[in-house]
């Protein structure tokens, strides 16, 4: 599960990219990818039109059928990996998790980008934040997609290894 604030920009973009990458890796039938937001402010809305345009222009599906939803505590135990777009999202998700075991499944999305800074355990994770493109222009949505794409293969490799380990 990918998670951002309202579930209309970053997390659905990551959901679309990851689905495509898992399909290309032959893992589409083995992995379920979804997304949510920590807020309910956008509940029921589709993917932001600017995010959709950038996805399509880069050869991805537009995210048709997506409707924003807020993450619930009951969602987390059923997820093997919860990918937070920012450190604020990660903190919120870990509080919501209810147990250390479930909280440990919350990982910063960009931690899977080989070019991103390495954050030692216990150190501030904000250096791995994917900036919110909502208040920006086209270049902000392009930058968001680039960050999502940069970490996607690392996510696929991590999941592939976890599946192989059983």
Which residues are catalytic, by number?
4, 10, 132
131 backbone dihedrals φ, ψ, rounded to 5°? -60, 145
The answer to whether the beta carbons of residues 162 and 30 sit under 8 Å apart is no
- Torsion from C-alpha of 125, 52, 33, 96, nearest 10 degrees: 50
The answer to whether the beta carbons of residues 94 and 106 sit under 8 Å apart is yes
Token representation of residue 14? 């990551």
Measured CA to CA, the distance from residue 42 to residue 52 in angstroms comes to 16
């Amino acid at each position: 599960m990918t998670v951002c604030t309202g579930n209309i920009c970053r997390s659905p973009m990551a959901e679309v990219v990851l689905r495509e990458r898992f399909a290309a890796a032959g893992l589409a039938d083995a992995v379920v990818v979804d997304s949510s937001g920590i807020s309910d402010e956008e509940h029921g809305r589709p993917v932001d039109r600017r995010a959709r345009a950038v996805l399509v222009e880069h050869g991805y599906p537009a995210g048709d059928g997506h409707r924003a939803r807020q993450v619930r505590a009951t969602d987390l135990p059923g997820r093997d990996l919860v990918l937070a777009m920012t450190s604020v999202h990660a903190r919120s998700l870990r509080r919501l998790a209810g147990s250390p075991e479930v909280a440990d499944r919350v990982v910063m999305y960009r931690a899977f980008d080989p070019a991103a800074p390495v954050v030692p355990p216990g150190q501030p994770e904000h250096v791995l934040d994917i900036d919110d493109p909502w208040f920006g222009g086209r270049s902000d949505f392009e930058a968001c997609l680039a960050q999502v794409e940069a970490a996607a293969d690392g996510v696929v490799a991590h999941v592939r290894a976890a599946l192989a380990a059983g």
